[in-house]
Amino acid sequence: MELIKELPEVFEEFAEQRQKSFMAMKGLKEQGVPVVGAYCTYFPAEIARAMGAVTVGLCSVSDETIPDAEKDLPKNLCPLIKSSYGFAKTDKCPFFYFSDVVVGETTCDGKKKMYEYMSDFKDVFVMELPNTQSEMALQLWKSELIRFKKYLEKKFDVEITDEAVSEAVKEENKVRKAMKELYHVMTLDPAPIKGGDLFKVLYGSGFKFDRKAIPAEIEAMREKIEKEYEEGKRLDKMPRILITGCPIGGATEKVIRAVEDNGGVVVAFENCNGAKSFDKLVDEENPDVYDALARRYLNIGCSVMTPNPNRLDLLDRLIDEFKVDGVVEMTLQACHTYNVESLSIRKFVNEKKGIPYINVETDYSQADIGQLNTRIAAFIEML
């Protein structure tokens, strides 16, 4: 089969979006636009956007600043935390530099402590994320969203109306719908494109500040992929892989490459910047916009939640919908929440879904690429 020829430049544009956004952000700051930086999928971006702020994901996916972080933090800490802190401390992340406030959340112990240290040199607002998804937890999380709103109002001397939040909700829901429809093309068998190319779009879209423009761009890309697929431009048939586990991007994209360089195709990403981010919409019919936001964000299935049925629910649907042949879980060294939960994911995938599973534990160095290739090649060969 002929591979897609015309699309790569579109994927590359999204891959380069992060770099382009550095300059765009400088322009926004010069116009006096507030910037709110964050690290986590639980961050309720709509509240910040309702006051006209730009929201951005902060640098956390490279080993470049880890030696600087290790002067303050333990060496055997998760690389994502060390990278985040290192970029912040050295001011090597333009997004961090331009952020007026960084929003943290009480997900894991390492991050909680990192935010304490970070607040010595940056305005940090930490949201109390419950570690369960009960009705009581929902009330706490809703009150945190309102506390965040009040903090922004006071800090920036603005009023954030419910109408403005509702507008931001509608806008972001459109982005989620478009993204969901885009990655849905991977349900086609054989796959229309490589998972690595799809990932460039999923990851890069987070750095496009004009949220209103995203749905049309994504829609056009999806239509192009589907049209070219009908014309016979598609990949050969190969084992279909779902990647789950810790947040992926930057240094850890080596796991995607290890799958696709060894005869597999990644058809689904369950990670934070994959399906997890776009799966659920905020209920626009709910008259209480903070209740609607609290429900949508609290229901994200992350390993910090105990118990964590929503992650299994999403995996269950993705495995069926995308006709998955095998699951690769990528966990980061010293990420205890995901590493401990990998046992229940393995059991679920093997016993409930009846398909093979492999866990690869890694960090941000490139030293284990050979080993990753060997293990993943053997896994794909077995499929």
Interval 238-264 mean pLDDT = 97
Residue 4, pLDDT score: 39
**Which segments of 91-194 does DSSP mark as H helices, in order?**
94-98, 109-118, 135-156, 162-183
Output the pTM of the full model. 0.95
Q: Are 185 and 229 in contact (CB under 8 A)?
A: yes
Q: Are 295 and 306 in contact (CB under 8 A)?
A: no
Kindly tell me if the per-residue pLDDT of 229 is higher than 60: yes
Q: CB neighbours (10 Å) of residue 283?
A: 16
Domain membership of residue 199 (yes or no) is: no
Phi-psi region of 250 (alpha: psi -120 to 50; beta: other; left: phi over 0): left
Q: Are 316 and 352 in contact (CB under 8 A)?
A: yes
Residue 206, pLDDT score: 85
Domain membership of residue 7 (yes or no) is: no
Kindly tell me if the per-residue pLDDT of 153 is higher than 90: yes
Q: What strands lie across the sheet with 124-127, from one edge to the other?
A: 54-57, 35-38, 101-105, 124-127
Number of domains comprising the chain: 1
Domain membership of residue 186 (yes or no) is: no
Confidence of residue 107 (pLDDT cuts 50, 70, 90): very high
Domain membership of residue 310 (yes or no) is: yes
Kindly tell me if the per-residue pLDDT of 165 is higher than 60: yes
Q: CB neighbours (10 Å) of residue 13?
A: 15
Domain membership of residue 142 (yes or no) is: yes
Residue 281 DSSP SS3:
coil
User: Which H/E stretch holds residue 327?
Assistant: strand 326-332
Query: Hey, which residues does 245 pair with through a beta bridge?
Result: 330
Q: State pLDDT tens for residues 296-318.
A: 999 999 999 999 999 999 999 99
Q: What is the DSSP letter of 38?
A: E
What single string gives the DSSP state of each residue in 347-363?
Answer: HIIIIIS---EEEEEE-
**Residue 156 maps to which CATH number?**
3.40.50.11900
Residue showing tokens 């689904």: 268
Residue 324 DSSP SS3:
coil
Residue 291 DSSP SS3:
helix
Q: State pLDDT tens for residues 356-383.
A: 999 999 999 999 999 999 999 999 999 9
Domain membership of residue 293 (yes or no) is: yes
Q: What is the DSSP letter of 184?
A: G
Kindly tell me if the per-residue pLDDT of 5 is higher than 60: no
Residue 2, pLDDT score: 38
Kindly tell me if the per-residue pLDDT of 344 is higher than 70: yes
Domain membership of residue 168 (yes or no) is: yes
Confidence of residue 6 (pLDDT cuts 50, 70, 90): low
Kindly tell me if the per-residue pLDDT of 46 is higher than 90: yes
Q: Are 363 and 62 in contact (CB under 8 A)?
A: no
Q: CB neighbours (10 Å) of residue 11?
A: 20
Residue 102 DSSP SS3:
strand
Residue 65, pLDDT score: 96
More confident residue, 2 or 367: 367
Confidence of residue 9 (pLDDT cuts 50, 70, 90): confident
Domain membership of residue 180 (yes or no) is: no
Residue positions counted in the chain: 383
- The domain of 320 spans 28-174+235-383
